[in-house]
Structure 1
Amino acid sequence: MSSINLAVPLVLGLLLALRDSGLYEPDNENAYVDIAGRRFHMGSLNNTPIIYVKTGSLSVNVATAVQILLDRFRDHGISFFGNAGSLDEETLAPGDVSVPEAVAFTGIWEWKKFPTEDKLEDGRLVFREFNYPHNGENLLGSVEFRKVKLFSQGEPPKDLFTLPISKSWYRVATEALKDLELRRCYIDACLPYTPKVVFGSRGSTFDMYLKNKAYEDFLRETFKVLSADTSSASVALTSMSNEKLFVVFRGVSNVVGGTSSNSRLSNLASINAFLAATKLINSISTPRVACES
């Protein structure tokens, strides 16, 4: 029987969300198996068979763990959840959950020669435009954002920048989560508003902790992304290479260049992302896989 695969990075709040939900039950006979230094836990979530693993942080660890998950266990797809930073607080506030239509690697750069050419392509990051207090030449020159190669069985490699979420599962998510009530409080810390699920955005992935407001503005305006994390695009690329269905849920724990994350806010974001992933899992009639970061 196929199961749900849960890939979980080493983030305490995400483990607390799974453990404290009361919905997860470990398998009585085979609770876990160790593979390549990672422990794959087997059990059920609301009576649906699942497997989850702590992947570790950053994109390489996440992609490796997900590939092992897909190679060694029978599965149908991945429901992936975790935390992210918001690039637009008016649209995505702390405690909200983003369900993006697509994700992209935005940390793969090709450095261009200095001086910067007069004619620049769209999507180029030109450092002179960020000189303070006045724009002017900058020895850093500029960088061009690179595409990634998608390798899949029986097809030539494709160069992609945007990685689309599986359409069938995204449609299920938009229907299943439209009335989902997210939590507003964690212990004695409460948000001054009711958090919401936001559909239709784009997410960005790179192996940096983004705190620079100017760079956040650049990413949002250039690539139309609303959230930043270190794992979603790795899950997307690995799932697409293996021709597996997947969907992503990101709980907002902070605002880039603005609201900083704290442990309680981070835990609340994890719990809300987990609630969204669980609702989707319970809404899919076929066997499926769940992942967390």
Structure 2
Amino acid sequence: MTDDKSQHNASIWHDIKKLEIFQMFDIFPFDNAGKHFRIGVLESKRVVVVMCGLGMLNAGISTQLLLTLFDVKGVLHYGIAGNANPKLQIGDVTIPQYWAHTGLWHWQRLGEENGDFNTKFGYLEFAEYSNSTKDLNTDTNLLNKVWYQPEEIFPVNGIPEARHHIFWTRVDKTYFKIAGKLKV
């Protein structure tokens, strides 16, 4: 039994094969941990292609599987993403120089003073979007304020267990340079 998503994924692979940009080795595809790995050649390079699914957790699991099962030189991710640039339209292809994970927030309690959190990115005060009524003053809102928070990382070439905070992550320079030469 197949669902609509399986049929859609099979259709995508059929279209990719017709374009002849990815030469898949039919004897090598295999399944592991709910993922279907396709092995082949793209632009004269041996590649492994896997659909990871939506969300950071799926991307992380898929990347870990690739690193565990294969001798990986690099990971190239493509997918959908939102943007705030009014000049871009649905279907436009963009290659960012930096990206940010905006899933980590600090939600400040009403009356809480500034604590051990960052107030630099994505400030939102809920009271600014409240409507006043005769019984409710909207100068404050119990939901108070939220900010995006930078990620806590431990650089591979840094001091062990010395954390660094980053919000914007630079794309790999080599891949960014190659992407700049692509034609759509």
TM bin, normalised by shorter chain, reads: 0.7 to 0.9
Measure, in 2, the Cα distance between the counterparts of 1:62 and 1:54: 9
CA contact (8 A) 1:127 1:141 kept: yes
How far did 1:10 drift? Answer: 8.1
How far did 1:117 drift? Answer: 5.7
1:21 aligns with 2:15: no
How far did 1:164 drift? Answer: 0.7
Task: Kindly provide the amino acid, as one letter, of the partner of residue 21 in structure 2.
Answer: L
Question: What residue number does 1:101 align with?
Answer: 97
1:158 aligns with 2:164: yes
Question: What residue number does 1:271 align with?
Answer: none
How far did 1:77 drift? Answer: 1.2
1:149 aligns with 2:155: no
Measure, in 1, the Cα distance between the counterparts of 2:93 and 2:103: 23
CA contact (8 A) 2:17 2:23 kept: no
Unaligned runs of 5+ in 1: 1-8, 183-293
Aligned in 2, Cα 1:26/1:18: closer, same or farther, shift over 3 Å? same
How far did 1:98 drift? Answer: 1.1
1:53 aligns with 2:56: no
**Alignment TM-score, normalising by the size of structure 2:** 0.74
Aligned in 2, Cα 1:127/1:50: closer, same or farther, shift over 3 Å? same
Task: Kindly provide the amino acid, as one letter, of the partner of residue 113 in structure 1.
Answer: R
Deviations 1:71-129 (A, max 9, x none): 22112112221122332232x112211110111111211211104769x9432321122
Deviations 1:61-80 (A, max 9, x none): 11111111122211211222
CA contact (8 A) 1:110 1:145 kept: yes
Q: Percent identity?
A: 25
Task: Kindly provide the amino acid, as one letter, of the partner of residue 172 in structure 2.
Answer: S
Measure, in 1, the Cα distance between the counterparts of 2:129 and 2:7: 34
Measure, in 2, the Cα distance between the counterparts of 1:75 and 1:19: 23
How far did 1:135 drift? Answer: 6.6
C-alpha RMSD over aligned residues: 3.1
Aligned in 2, Cα 1:153/1:85: closer, same or farther, shift over 3 Å? closer
How far did 1:60 drift? Answer: 0.5
CA contact (8 A) 2:120 2:147 kept: no
CA contact (8 A) 2:63 2:75 kept: no
- The secondary structure found in structure 2 opposite 1:82 is coil
- The secondary structure found in structure 2 opposite 1:89 is coil
- The secondary structure found in structure 2 opposite 1:88 is coil
Which protein is richer in strand relative to its size?
1
Measure, in 2, the Cα distance between the counterparts of 1:105 and 1:14: 30
Question: What residue number does 1:38 align with?
Answer: 35
Deviations 1:140-184 (A, max 9, x none): 10113222122344533422111110123212322x13xx2x3xx
Whose radius of gyration is greater, 1 or 2?
2
> Structure 1 residue aligned with 2:109, among 107, 113, 118?
113
Deviations 1:256-276 (A, max 9, x none): xxxxxxxxxxxxxxxxxxxxx
Question: What residue number does 2:83 align with?
Answer: 86
Question: What residue number does 1:140 align with?
Answer: 143
Task: Kindly provide the amino acid, as one letter, of the partner of residue 168 in structure 1.
Answer: T
Measure, in 2, the Cα distance between the counterparts of 1:28 and 1:127: 54
**Alignment TM-score, normalising by the size of structure 1:** 0.49
- The secondary structure found in structure 2 opposite 1:49 is strand
Measure, in 2, the Cα distance between the counterparts of 1:10 and 1:86: 28
1:171 aligns with 2:170: no
